């Protein structure tokens, strides 16, 4: 049992009763004399540990009898005060008081059925701090009595999974998004494949498929029935199709007066679909119902992230120009009697805060003539964009795949550009059905399946 001690200066200190008297006395000495410099040393020590990787979450259960928990706050007005936890493996982590009180898991503060915080923000005192801290002998939980009169209990496993350190955070990031595996043509000799019937019937096959689409950005589903409606059947296993102004699904056939170049026999440059939408489709599906039999009609596919990394390496100034310059995309027309007028602005290569590539928006067909680039910089931007396109089309990076009837090609529309070789209407009808998923839906389903497979 821990007995908190409160010094005259307002220093809270809790010690393990299980620890030796000498160790306790030593800890008390340090904390009773907690002058600013000493507190700083204590915090600095904590910060050094902060970046050390912890063991995997599965080993936290040995947080225990030799664990120590003490309060590292020194003064009541120290808003950044934290609880320092010594784990059984001699690592330590810091937990801010305000975060602990905010995340109290009791029924008064947290609704377990909806997994939602009930505690209102106006009821969270900014200067909240514990007046007592206890750890039972098994070391598997921490109880805190708070300055606002409330009490909280946290399990050690819950705290360990939420530790404020890079290892715990990286593990969390891995749950949010799977790490992308970039590829060039040599690495993509064998296209990842799944079987349509397996995906409908087998959760393990579905999970593997979703993981491949997320990591590689591409998977070919084989042996789907060669009639329309199969995208809806597959989608029922995932979530919902994303509707756009081309409908819930769209048919790719040669049409007279086509409102989209996809509905012609022409070659299509490598592109992403619908960059004129701010919320553009995350994943594209193309189901081949019948294929043109002569030459042409092949799909081109390329990992634009892999190529962008090459551009970053060989022409960093061109890469930067493509990440800095906003490009206008638009789509104006009529579909099923409904007029549409979509406009969006995106850089060609969109980076996240850490400089990693987040999305690529490349579509020469719907790139607008309106362009916000400085006139003096425009030539350099064209030069960079054309250089990127040369690399994208290079056989070192781009692969060719002619779909067979019954194939559904599924790819990351933020990353894998697709194009098409031109064909002529003499070789039979080419009939594809297309649709989209949002990444939120795909990742949600993947997490559900991963959690279920962990249980089994
Ligand atoms: Zn509570």
Cα 283 to middle of ligand 1, angstroms: 41
CA–CA separation, 121 vs 331, rounded Å?
A: 44
Over range 7-20, report the average pLDDT. Answer: 27
**Lowest-confidence pick of 39-48, 92-101, 215-224, 254-263:** 39-48
Over range 15-25, report the average pLDDT. Answer: 28
State the pLDDT at residue 140: 86
DSSP state of 54: P
Cα 115 to middle of ligand 1, angstroms: 14
What is the pTM for the complete model shown? 0.80
Q: Which residues surround ligand 1, an ion (CB under 5 A)?
A: 104, 106, 108-109
Cα 5 to middle of ligand 1, angstroms: 23
Cα 97 to middle of ligand 1, angstroms: 13
Cα 154 to middle of ligand 1, angstroms: 10
DSSP code per residue over 367-385:
B-S---S-GGGHHHHHHHH
Cα 144 to middle of ligand 1, angstroms: 10
Cα 149 to middle of ligand 1, angstroms: 10
Single out the residue of 240, 233, 146, 252 nearest to residue 439, CA to CA.
Answer: 240
Cα 151 to middle of ligand 1, angstroms: 6
Q: Count Cβ atoms below 10 Å from residue 346 Cβ, excluding itself.
A: 21
Cα 413 to middle of ligand 1, angstroms: 44
Q: Domain 5-176 belongs to what architecture?
A: 2-Layer Sandwich (3.30)
| pLDDT-above-70 percentage for the chain | 79
For the domain 193-455, what is the CATH code? Answer: 3.60.130.10
Annotated domain spans of the chain:
5-176, 193-455
**Long-range pairs for 15-24 at CB < 8 Å and ≥24 separation?**
15/68, 15/70, 16/65, 16/66, 16/67, 16/68, 16/69, 16/135, 18/65, 18/66, 18/137, 19/66, 19/68
Chain segment 311-322, per-residue pLDDT in tens: 999 999 999 999
Q: Residue 90 — pLDDT band, cuts 50, 70, 90?
A: confident
Cα 150 to middle of ligand 1, angstroms: 7
């Amino acid at each position: 049992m821990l007995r908190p001690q409160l010094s005259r200066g307002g220093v809270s200190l809790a010690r393990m009763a299980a620890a030796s008297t000498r160790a306790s006395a030593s800890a008390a000495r340090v904390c009773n004399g907690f002058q600013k410099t000493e507190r700083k040393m204590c915090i600095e020590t904590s910060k050094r540990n902060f970046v050390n990787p912890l063991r995997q979450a599965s080993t936290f259960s040995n947080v225990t009898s030799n664990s120590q928990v003490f309060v590292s706050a020194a003064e009541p007005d120290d808003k950044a005060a934290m609880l320092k936890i010594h784990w059984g493996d001699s690592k330590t982590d810091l937990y801010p008081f305000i975060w602990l009180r905010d995340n109290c898991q009791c029924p008064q503060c947290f609704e377990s059925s909806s997994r939602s915080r009930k505690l209102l923000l106006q009821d969270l005192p900014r200067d909240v701090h514990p007046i007592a801290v206890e750890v039972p002998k098994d070391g598997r939980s921490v109880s805190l009595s708070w300055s606002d009169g409330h009490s909280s209990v946290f399990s050690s496993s819950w705290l360990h999974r939420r530790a404020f350190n890079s290892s715990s955070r990286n593990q969390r990031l891995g749950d949010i998004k799977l790490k992308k595996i970039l590829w060039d043509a040599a690495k993509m000799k064998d296209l990842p494949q799944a079987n349509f019937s397996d995906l409908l019937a087998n959760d393990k096959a579905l999970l593997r498929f979703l993981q491949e689409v997320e990591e590689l950005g591409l998977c070919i589903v084989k042996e789907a029935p060669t009639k329309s409606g199969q995208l809806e059947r597959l989608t029922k296993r995932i979530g919902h199709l994303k509707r756009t102004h081309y409908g819930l699904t769209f048919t790719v056939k040669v049409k007279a007066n086509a409102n989209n170049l996809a509905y012609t026999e022409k070659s299509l440059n490598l592109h992403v679909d619908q960059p004129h939408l701010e919320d553009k489709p995350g994943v594209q599906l193309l189901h081949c119902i019948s294929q043109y039999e002569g030459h042409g009609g092949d799909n081109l596919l390329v990992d634009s992230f892999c190529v962008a990394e090459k551009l970053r390496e060989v022409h960093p100034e061109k890469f930067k120009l493509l990440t800095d310059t906003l490009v206008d995309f638009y789509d104006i027309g009529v579909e099923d009697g409904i007029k549409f007028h979509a406009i969006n602005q995106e850089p060609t290569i969109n980076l996240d805060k850490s400089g990693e590539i987040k999305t690529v928006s490349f579509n020469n067909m719907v790139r607008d003539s309106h362009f916000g680039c400085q006139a003096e910089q425009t030539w350099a931007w064209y030069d960079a964009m054309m250089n990127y396109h040369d690399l994208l089309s290079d056989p070192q990076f781009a692969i060719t795949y002619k779909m067979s009837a019954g194939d559904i090609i599924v790819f990351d529309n933020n990353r894998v550009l697709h194009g098409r070789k031109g064909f002529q209407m003499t070789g039979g009808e080419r009939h594809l059905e297309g649709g989209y998923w949002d990444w939120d839906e795909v990742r949600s389903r993947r997490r559900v399946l991963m959690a279920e497979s962990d249980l089994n």
